[in-house]
Amino acid sequence: MENVRYTAKRLAEIFGVTSKQIEGALGKRDGFVPDDLPVLRAKLRRPPEPFAPRVQLFLNFKGGTGKTSLSSSYAYRLAERGYRVLMIDLDSQGHATKCLGKEGGSFTQTLQDVIIRRRPLDEVTVPTGMPNLSLVPANLSMSTIDLALMPLAGREFRLRNALQGVQGKYDFVVLDAPPSFGLLNLNALMAASDLVIPVLADFLSYDGLRLLFETIQGLEQDLSHQLENIFIVVNAYNQTFKIAREALGALREHYADYLLDSVVRQCTKFAQASSEGCPIFGYDPDSKGATDIEAVQNEILGRIRAACAEAGAAGA
């Protein structure tokens, strides 16, 4: 992400001011970089809207749904908004790590050291090229983490307990999980307040959704953990395909309470951005992929605010 550059126009859009105000605040007309964002936020007095801390898990037991591109770009956009964000890569393939411009193999410590060896999260957290966005990287050393967890006491709560050590330090913790069910993903579900499920608009997605919802029901019954919010987001949607339109209609019929109105359209810029080690907002903020994730994020945050307000009114 070292190559990310901003135009005055893009910064003006982020902060809701004019390009001249951006140039005046920073004393330059071009060459804007991510490090300019917190400076601008302070000078323009544009703090992020207050938000109760969240742990948001991106998970689908079915692979190939584009989950990592969504989660890494989602986390990056939160940081652009001024929130303090921690991205945790749970996948031994380290795709989220790569999407944020880091090579997983270059790190000697990962989440494995936190979960198994009880290292503090701060010890394995690294900065990214975006201020306010930190990363717990992943690499192939994590491939045995499920086996290592099996004999441990309180194995389902290791991640949740680790996150308590950074409580108050981050506004959002974003978890990118591998497409499988195991003890590490069980840890992620037990730690999460919100679950985001990326799906494709095809009927094979129903198998993954069914298994995931069965798992969630088991957590509620056996471990007394209830997720506060569940969001299903359709990714890589192409409305020109009849099967995609039919699948979307079926999702709206059977999962109406969870399905977001916003969809993420098919966009080749995601693959290009990932190959450059950059989230879509840093690679091409004007692309339809960036526009759609912005809409998804706005809808998720809006629904959470509404749910919190409703709960507060009910408890008054």
- What 3-state class would DSSP assign to 144? helix
Residues 122 and 200 in one domain: yes
Res 236 pLDDT > 70: yes
Phi, psi for 235 (deg, rounded to 5):
-115, 155
pLDDT higher than threshold 70 for residue 136: yes
Q: Are residues 36 and 19 in the same domain?
A: yes
DSSP string, 12-79: HHHHTS-HHHHHHHHT-SS-B-TTHHHHHHHHHT-PPPP---EEEEE--SSS-S-HHHHHHHHHHHHH
**Same-domain check for residues 133 and 26:** no
Statement to judge: residues 156 and 13 lie in one domain: no
pLDDT value, residue 314: 73
What is the DSSP code (8-state) at residue 151? T
Is 81 in the same domain as 12? no
Are 68 and 112 part of one and the same domain?
A: yes
Q: Which domain holds residue 249?
A: 50-315
Looking at the fold, whether 35 and 128 belong to one and the same domain comes out as no
pLDDT at residue 313 above 70?
yes
CATH number at residue 109: 3.40.50.300
- Residue 87: what are its φ and ψ, rounded to 5°? -100, 125
Q: Does residue 20 sit in the same domain as residue 79?
A: no
Q: How many domains does the chain have?
A: 2
The predicted pLDDT at position 289 comes to 95
More confident residue, 17 or 205: 17
> Which of the four pLDDT bands, split at 50, 70 and 90, describes residue 225?
confident
316 pLDDT band, cuts 50/70/90, is: low
Do 233 and 121 share a domain, yes or no? yes
Average pLDDT over residues 279-294: 95
Count of C-beta atoms within a 10 Å radius of residue 11: 22
Instruction: Record the pTM.
Output: 0.96
Per-residue pLDDT, averaged over 148-160, amounts to 94
Q: Mean pLDDT across the chain, nearest whole number?
A: 93
Token code pair at residue 141: 């050393």
For the segment 173-182, what is each residue's pLDDT rounded down to a tens digit?
999 999 888 9
The pLDDT of residue 205 is above 80: no
For 90-132, the pLDDT digits (tens) are: 999 999 999 999 988 889 999 999 999 999 999 999 999 999 9
Asked whether residue 59 falls in the same domain as residue 201, the answer is yes
- Are 300 and 223 part of one and the same domain? yes
pLDDT reported for residue 63 = 86
205 and 91 belong to one structural domain: yes
pLDDT digit string, tens, across residues 60-78: 988 889 999 999 999 999 9
Task: Please determine, for residue 163, whether its predicted confidence score (pLDDT) is greater than 70.
Answer: yes
